[in-house]
Each structure stands twice: as C-alpha cells, then as structure tokens.
Structure 1
Amino acid sequence: MNKKNIIWLAILLLLLTTGCSKQQAARPPQEVVVKAMQVLQQDTPITYEFVGEIVAKDEVQIKAQVSGNIARKLVKGGDTVYAGQPLFEIDRRNYAAAVADAQAQVAQAQASLSNIRRDVVRYQDLADQGGIADQVLDTAVAQAEQAQAQANAYLAKLAQAQNDLADTIIVSPVDGRIGVGELSSGMYAQAGSTVIATVSTVDPVQVRFSMSENEYLKFSRLGNTPDSWGQNLSLVLSDGTKYSLTGHLEQVDRGLSSQTGTLAMKAAFGNPQQLLVPGMFARIVAVGETRPGALLIPQRAVQEMLGKTFVTVVGANNEAVTKPVILGPKVDSLQIVEEGLTAQDVVVVEGFAKSQPGSPLKVTMIGLNDLTIPVAK
C-alpha cells in the first residue's frame, strides 16, 4: 500500500470514529428503575429501647434442714415442679428411730405424771382431814409440777423429732423449674449449708435493664414518670420477633449505680407458654413522648458515607437528587428526619445504588404496606 492510500485510510477511520462518538453523545442516558415513597408526615409516638436480660422473678436455693445421705431423687433436672411437691428424700432411718425414742420418753413421763397427780389428790384429802402435815402436800404438788415440766420437755423433743423426720422429704417451696445441677443420690447433705437444688419461677419472669442518667433526665423533663411509661412495655426477642404479651415496670432501684452511672430496673412479663428462659437477652421498648407532624422515611432509604447520612430524592423531571439529612429516633422500620426533607419530597427506597445525581429515573411509587417485604437495594 502506497503512502497516499495510507493517508486516505487514516482519514476514513477518523471520520468513522468521530461519527460514532457523535452518535453516542447524542444518545440520551438510560433511565434507572427505582421504587420511591412519599415522605410521611404524622403525629408519631417516640419509642425508646433498652437492652435487657430475662431473669427469674424468684430463684430459691433449696437447702437440707437435716443432715444425711440423699436416699432418693424424685425429679430430674429441668423438670417443672410445683409448691409442696417432693423433690428428694434423705435417709430417714435415724430420724424415725429418734421419733420412736421420743415417743417412749413421752409415754414414761406422762405415766409418772399421772401417778404423782393421784398422790396429790390423796394427800389433799388427808390434809383437809388433818391426817398429814401441809409440808407433805406441798412436796407432792411440787413433784407434780416438776413431772409436768418433764413431760412438756419430752413432748417438745418428740415434736422436734417428728419435724426432723418430715424434713427428710425435701419439697419445692414454689412453682417453677428445677436446675440441672442438683445433687445425686448417695451424696451427703449438711443441714443448713448444702444447696441441694435451685428452683426458678417461670411465670411471670422479669427483664432486668438499665437506664442512663441522661435518659432518665430526658424522661423526667418530658413529664414521663415510671408510673406512666412503664405500664405498657413491649419486648423484642433476640431474633427480632415481638413477644406477644406486654409487661409493666415492677422495680426501680433506689439510685444510680456508682460504677456504671445507670439506674437499674425490672419489668415483669407473663410467661404462660414458658417461652422466656432466664439468661435470654431481649430489648425493652417503652413509648415516650408523641412528636406532632414528624417526617418519616423508610430506614432502608438512608445512605451513610464518611459519618454523614444522605437520601436520594426524585427531583424535577424525575432526576436523582442526593440530599444530606439529619436523622432522629427510629420508629419500627421507619426513621424520623429532623432536617433535610419536606413532606413534599419523594425518597428513593430501592435502586438508589444504581443512580447517580442527575440520572433520569423511572419511578414506581410504593406505600407503607409495601415495606413489610424486604427488597434488596
């Protein structure tokens, strides 16, 4: 190929390239398909969440009242037990023998008392007739009083022996669930010190949580006393599900902890199905003040970058516009917007990751009910 042909070929390629560039430049940008939602404006109750731990309302350590080897276990660890239900039996042979011995002592003392009382009656008749000295009668009366005291002492000893025998059967003091770390048969239990088992009540349970000093002050300044906000509490479990029953505040500590600076509280929740187990973590949700005319957007419409928050709104001519916003508290799946939006704005909920500022948008409007099904951005 000669030099002239090469030049003409270069010119032709240049013309073709320029034509393609002009066609591409003339082609309008492709619309981005998005789903958007009108900013909500409504009076909104503000909720506050506190991380809590579920604990038993009552947790009773069962200790033996008498010493001895455990002869029988009548329940298994983890069983549901009821007040008065037998749980363990301590070897009762020595205690049964003590009862029999005390009964014999009582019988002997009562027989002796009966004889002395008959003597007193005879001496009284003789003394009335002048047949004996008064001193003899007085001695007999004193012996009768002494015998009565001895009989009373043996009766008390018998009652104690009977109580000890009864205490060899260890019963549950409350309705609840027994722990799995109880003693085994054959092990020795020392009266008053050996913990044989622990029983925890299961219905109701308590949720232990803490409120910071600033939160307490905020509630107080808004006029929200524990008697007001603590009567209709919700519980959100660790898997995000809402517990079916509401609870109420039951205990408030006398002051802030010197170590954590928080105020400890306990709320009570019914647990008829025994779903709530001590040691579980959950979130207490309390309703505080109501914010009139609050602006709300879906939480998943919020974008975060370098510590700042943004949303994409549908601007003039359906173009994407990025706006910085200042957010307030969360309300379920929505977010209160303090600054940056108006009630007339339409925020992009799905598809904003594919749009750039100024990009044309093909908008499908959705409502609040459409937010119940999570949609990938």
Structure 2
Amino acid sequence: MSIKGSKKLYVGLIFAVVLLSGVVMRSGVLSKTQVNNVNQAIAVKAMQVVTRDTPINIEFVGQVKAKSEVKIMSKVSGNIIAKMVNGGDTVYKGQPLFQIDNKQYRSAINSARATINKSQATLNNTQKDVERYQRLAEIKGVAQQTVDAYVSQAEQEAATVEVNRADLQQAIENEQDTLIVSPVDGRIDVNDVSLGYYVAASSTTMATVSSIDPVWVQFSMSENEYLKFIRSGNGSLPAYFKDHLKLVLSDGKEYPFIGHVEQIDRGMSDTTGTITIKASFDNPQKFLLPGMFARVVAQEIVRQGALLIPQKAVKQVLDNTFVTVVTVDNKAESRQVKLGDKIGDMWLVEEGLSANERVIVEGIDKAKQGSSLQVTMLEPDALTPAKQ
C-alpha cells in the first residue's frame, strides 16, 4: 500500500473512533440524566384535605365541689361521751353523730320546772285575791285602788310565769342539742373529734359533712368564650351548652351522667379575667368526690364543611404551624396554616388550605420546598390503626 493510502486509512480510523466515543459519551450522559431525574422524585404519601360537617367541642378544666359543706358545731358546751359514726362514713340528714354529756342540762330542766311551778302557784293566789276584791268593790267594801293594785300584781306574776316557761323550753332544747345530728346527706370527714373531747358552744368544729349527691363541678371560661356563648344564646347561655355538659375523668373515661349549669358568678375575676361557673352532676353511686379534677366538655357548634387534616401532617416551628402541600405538578410546597380544635386524630384547619388540596402525611422531612414528588394517595381510614 502506498504512503498516501495509509494516511487516508489512518485518518478514517481516527474519525470513526472519535465518532464512536461521542456516541458513547452522549449515550452515557443521557442515561445519567435520566437516572438523576428519576432519583430526584421523592416518594411520599399524601391525603386529600377532608371536608365534612363536624361537631366542635370545647373543654374546660373543672373540679368537683360539694353542694353543701357543713361544719358541725354544737349549740351547747360539754364533753363528748359517745360517737355514733367513724370518720369517712356516709351519713344521712338527721342521723345521730355525737352525744354530749347531758347531766347538767337535765338538771337545768328540773330546776326550770320547779321555778315555773312556784311562779304559777303565786299567780293562782293573786288571781283569787283579785276575784275577792272585785266582789267587795262591787258593794263598796273596798276602794277601787286596792282592786287595781291586785290586778297589776297578777299581770306581773303572769308575765313571770311566761318567762319561766320560756326558760323551761330553753332548758329542754339545750338538753336535746346535746345529741348532734347530721344536717345533710353526705360524707363525714376523717378529722372528727374524739371521745372525751370538750366542745365549746358555737365555736368548736366537731367534723365537716359534705353532700355528695348531686355535686357541683366548678370551672372557668375566658371573657371571649363567654361572649361567644352569650351571643349564640341571645343574651344567655344556649341550651345546647347549659343543659348538655359531659365530664371526662382523669383516667380519660367519660362519666355516665349529663350535667347542667346551675350557677354563674356575678362577674369576671379581676386577677384571672375569667368567670366561674358551677354545673350540677348526679352522683348516685358516690363516684365523684370533692376535690377531684375532670374535664368539662360542651358541644359548641356543628361546623358545616369543616376542613380536617391528620395530626401527623403538621409540623410546629416555634409558634408557627406548617404543612407540606402537593402542588398540581407534584412539587412540594411548604404552607403555613392556622389550626383550630383537635377532632380525634385530626386537626381542624381555620386558614391556609382549601378543600381540593393534598397534604403530605409520610415523608415530610424528605420533601424539601420545590422538590419533585412521587405521590401515593391515602384514604383517611388508612391512617387509623386497626383495632385488635
């Protein structure tokens, strides 16, 4: 082969190698780009914003209070000689609790009886004198002045009889008051006095009896909450709130009886800015005890077409709340939202979302602003763990 032919062959081979390399390189770049594009689509799970009519409940922290809490005091003084109950017992109105030594009071009764008998006898004699002198006065046998003096004396002695009769009645009542009875149905506390203890009249607290059926549950609401309810009820608490209160106890279980509002304080507290309300709950099983805490739950309204999202779709950053929305072209968009009440495992959305939007519920941390998404849609039921 000539030198000229060899050069042509050499140039041809070089051209073919360059062309092939270019094809290979171009093919590799395209493949890499395609792989990168695939890798950039982040797999997430999302859910459509739920729209439904939703009952909105409002809760308050309440404390159980006795409707009647009576300090037991004696009207008379003396030593306790008998106890008919133990601390913590359930007692009933009129049930004997303590007996105070009544010997001196029985003596006072006997003395008062003797005094009234004596004064009654004196009055009887004077009344006879009055009758005699009145007959003599009719025949001018005695001056009218004498008759008037005896009539006046009889009136004074009659008044003395009435005073002595009142003293006797007081002595009888004092003796009766040595038996201390419960003024209400309820439960007696454990800080009762012991046998032999000396009690001073109207001074010594012998025990405290708290009524326990029904009971009050006391709670407070803010000024804004109060105004909202008052407006809803056209100047008073609406019936759906006032007469349909539920109680959730500290163990999370709902109390079986419905309560109703009985008392509303005369005004807002100067220190807390809240108003105190007392609701009455039946307590036939004596389950509720004074001092217990519970949540008072009231159905506020039924929100028509409320927007709900799962709690797991929400991220809290400082004082702001965010969700990640899937856009129409499957991109991630961080969105600040305003939330309302918790409804089960969902949040009520007040602002920031519309009914036709989708929010990410799984893979939120991977979905950065503007990133492409590979979306799997979930139904709301899929977020609720299956019951065993």
Q: Into which bin does the TM-score normalised by the smaller protein fall?
A: 0.7 to 0.9
User: Whose radius of gyration is greater, 1 or 2?
Assistant: 2
Q: What is the aligned partner in structure 2 of residue 169 from structure 1?
A: 179
Residue 312 of structure 1, CA deviation: 6.5
2:366 & 2:294 partners in 1: Cα distance? 38
Q: What is the aligned partner in structure 2 of residue 157 from structure 1?
A: 167
Whether the aligned pair in 2 keeps the contact of 1:66 and 1:164 (CA below 8 Å) is yes
Whether the aligned pair in 2 keeps the contact of 1:312 and 1:352 (CA below 8 Å) is no
Q: What is the aligned partner in structure 1 of residue 19 from structure 2?
A: none
Residue 322 of structure 1, CA deviation: 7.0
Whether the aligned pair in 1 keeps the contact of 2:44 and 2:360 (CA below 8 Å) is no
2:340 & 2:90 partners in 1: Cα distance? 46
| 1:101 partner letter | S
Secondary structure at the residue paired with 2:53?
Answer: strand
Residue 187 of structure 1, CA deviation: 1.1
Identify if the C-alpha distance between structure 1 residues 207 and 53 changes in structure 2 by more than 3 Å, giving closer, same or farther: same
Residue 158 of structure 1, CA deviation: 0.3
* The 10-residue stretch of structure 1 (218-227 or 183-192) with the greater mean CA deviation from structure 2: 218-227
1:198-245 residue CA offsets vs partner (Å, 9 max, x unmatched): 111111211222222233334445556543132222222222222222
Describe how 1:345-356 pairs up with structure 2 within 5 A. none
2:176 & 2:385 partners in 1: Cα distance? 61
Secondary structure at the residue paired with 2:260?
Answer: strand
1:320 & 1:242 partners in 2: Cα distance? 41
Q: Does 1:102 align with 2:112?
A: yes
* The 10-residue stretch of structure 1 (306-315 or 248-257) with the greater mean CA deviation from structure 2: 306-315
Q: Percent identity?
A: 50
Whether the aligned pair in 2 keeps the contact of 1:39 and 1:297 (CA below 8 Å) is yes
The number of residues matched between the two structures is 350
Q: What is the aligned partner in structure 2 of residue 11 from structure 1?
A: none
Q: What is the aligned partner in structure 2 of residue 230 from structure 1?
A: 242
TM-score (norm 1): 0.79
Identify if the C-alpha distance between structure 1 residues 98 and 373 changes in structure 2 by more than 3 Å, giving closer, same or farther: farther
Whether the aligned pair in 2 keeps the contact of 1:82 and 1:174 (CA below 8 Å) is yes
| 1:255 partner letter | G
Q: What is the aligned partner in structure 2 of residue 263 from structure 1?
A: 275
Identify if the C-alpha distance between structure 1 residues 301 and 172 changes in structure 2 by more than 3 Å, giving closer, same or farther: farther
Secondary structure at the residue paired with 2:180?
Answer: strand
2:364 & 2:386 partners in 1: Cα distance? 19
Residue 333 of structure 1, CA deviation: 4.0
1:289-338 residue CA offsets vs partner (Å, 9 max, x unmatched): 43221112343554434544445678889999876543122234432112
2:235 & 2:284 partners in 1: Cα distance? 29
Identify if the C-alpha distance between structure 1 residues 52 and 130 changes in structure 2 by more than 3 Å, giving closer, same or farther: same
| 2:184 partner letter | V
Q: Unaligned 5+ residue runs, structure 1?
A: 1-21
Residue 139 of structure 1, CA deviation: 2.8
Describe how 1:15-26 pairs up with structure 2 within 5 A. none
Q: What is the aligned partner in structure 1 of residue 148 from structure 2?
A: 138
2:127 & 2:169 partners in 1: Cα distance? 24
**What is the aligned counterpart of 2:381 among 357, 367, 372?**
367
| 1:234 partner letter | K
Residue 176 of structure 1, CA deviation: 1.2
Residue 105 of structure 1, CA deviation: 0.9
Q: Unaligned 5+ residue runs, structure 2?
A: 1-31
**What is the aligned counterpart of 2:291 among 262, 279, 283?**
279
Whether the aligned pair in 2 keeps the contact of 1:320 and 1:355 (CA below 8 Å) is no
Whether the aligned pair in 2 keeps the contact of 1:83 and 1:174 (CA below 8 Å) is yes
Q: What is the aligned partner in structure 2 of residue 295 from structure 1?
A: 307
1:74 & 1:277 partners in 2: Cα distance? 23
| 2:261 partner letter | L
Residue 63 of structure 1, CA deviation: 1.4
RMSD: 3.5
Q: Does 1:200 align with 2:214?
A: no
**What is the aligned counterpart of 1:249 among 239, 261, 275?**
261
Residue 286 of structure 1, CA deviation: 2.3
Identify if the C-alpha distance between structure 1 residues 337 and 364 changes in structure 2 by more than 3 Å, giving closer, same or farther: closer
Residue 156 of structure 1, CA deviation: 0.6
Identify if the C-alpha distance between structure 1 residues 255 and 83 changes in structure 2 by more than 3 Å, giving closer, same or farther: same
1:371 & 1:210 partners in 2: Cα distance? 34
1:46-87 residue CA offsets vs partner (Å, 9 max, x unmatched): 322221211111211121111111121111111111111111
1:355 & 1:239 partners in 2: Cα distance? 38
Q: Does 1:123 align with 2:155?
A: no
Whether the aligned pair in 2 keeps the contact of 1:72 and 1:90 (CA below 8 Å) is yes
